[in-house]
Homo-oligomer: A and B are copies of this chain.
Amino acid sequence: MSTPLNIGMIGYGFMGRAHSNAYNRVSNFFNTEHKPVLKAVCARDEEKAQAFANTWGYESVETDWRKLIERKDIDAVDICTPNNLHKEIAIAAAQAGKMILCEKPLAMNAAEGEEMCQAVEKAKVANMVWYNYRRVPAVTFAKQLIDQGRLGRIFHYRANFLQDWTISADLPQGGQALWRLDAAAAGSGVTGDLLAHCIDTAIWLNGSIDNVSGMTETFIKERKHTLTGKMQKVDIDDACAFLCRFENGSLGLFESTRYARGHKALYTFEINGEKASIKWDLHDLHRLQWFDHSDEGVLRGWTSIHVTDSDHPYMDKWWVPGLAIGYEHSFVHQVADFLESLSTGKPAGPTFRDALETQKICDAVLASAKTGQWTPVE
């Protein structure tokens, strides 16, 4: 017997597609009790909403997210809007007793995030934030290795998220396509968009961060705004880097930018422990690089593990060893784990509360970049 989980999706952009695909595919590969049903999609433009519904199989459309939230036949609300709408929608959805799956970053800042956490906790509704990279099999596998104590004491954590799509000064800011360049819609630039991913993975793998020293830069100072048609000051950060100290005594280096020519979505991390080290990158996401000091001396080296065997995380659900899956599967896994959590009652992370920690670190980094001071994470 299976139990339907009726999804109401708000937004229909890139992330709307990624999530819809995950809902559609999960039951072909994962045998969960709860099974998502694409009940409704909501967008202000009805025609576009309908086209999206047709493509993905949503049963109905809404043009007002408040109506969607009110619908009795919706169990879970998926928030795929620009960041500046997350708080209002999430709080309303929580008050309506809906489960919430919210795109990252959680909010425009930690203060908003705190309100959101309190709302879902008060309402006791299942909640999760789409930091999908935790569930790339190689990354989940890294988590397992660390939890097994195979790395020993950790000395170093470093992560980058490098892109190059905003180098042209002719690229405008704002509007539907480019809201990520508009501080009013996005809150911050690469910090919330890219570094937040690095931070979510880092605190999951390596624990809390105590304090940070950040640096930001906006290389192109003015861009035409899509909505006004005028040249306007760019208020987001084009690049952000920070040093930090983790609670466990290890040192961290983080960097993100949209000005690293040659890299499209190069999220990489490396962890150096006393006994072993790990490296991963998103451009070859099916591989984990592993160095084990306990290997026989002459045979030591970095092993490139092709994370496609059936005893690797999630991989027993897919094909056979050697055959890779891709980016989109991380979302399928997250949906599968969320569905599983409804049966077990054990929340699937990152919850809103987990994601709030990332938000606080982002806030501290941005504050430090302004003041030039080392800044504690509150």
Residues of A bordering B, CB below 8 Å: 14, 18, 20-21, 24-25, 27-28, 55-57, 141, 155-156, 158, 162-165, 167, 213, 215, 217, 219, 239, 241-243, 245, 249, 251, 253, 255, 257, 259-266, 272-277, 282-286, 290-293, 295, 297-306, 308-309, 311-312, 318-329, 372-374
Residue on B nearest A255 in the bound complex, by CB: B253
Residues of B within 8 A of A260 (CB): 155-156, 272, 277
Q: Report the separation of the CA atoms of residues A213 and B368 in the bound assembly, to the nearest whole angstrom.
A: 11
Q: CB distance B18 to A24 under 8 Å?
A: no
Residue on B nearest A305 in the bound complex, by CB: B301
Min CB distance A330 to B, Å, is 10
Residues of B within 8 A of A245 (CB): 215
Identify which of B162, B306, B311, B319 contacts A14 (C-beta below 8 A).
Answer: B319
Min CB distance A162 to B, Å, is 8
Q: Report the separation of the CA atoms of residues A233 and B306 in the bound assembly, to the nearest whole angstrom.
A: 34
Q: Report the separation of the CA atoms of residues A359 and B136 in the bound assembly, to the nearest whole angstrom.
A: 39
Residues of B within 8 A of A253 (CB): 241, 253, 255
Residues of B within 8 A of A293 (CB): 261-262
Q: Report the separation of the CA atoms of residues A353 and B248 in the bound assembly, to the nearest whole angstrom.
A: 41
Q: CB distance B55 to A155 under 8 Å?
A: no
Do A298 and B326 contact each other (CB < 8 Å), given the known contacts A251-B239, A320-B14, A374-B372? no
Q: Report the separation of the CA atoms of residues A298 and B321 in the bound assembly, to the nearest whole angstrom.
A: 11
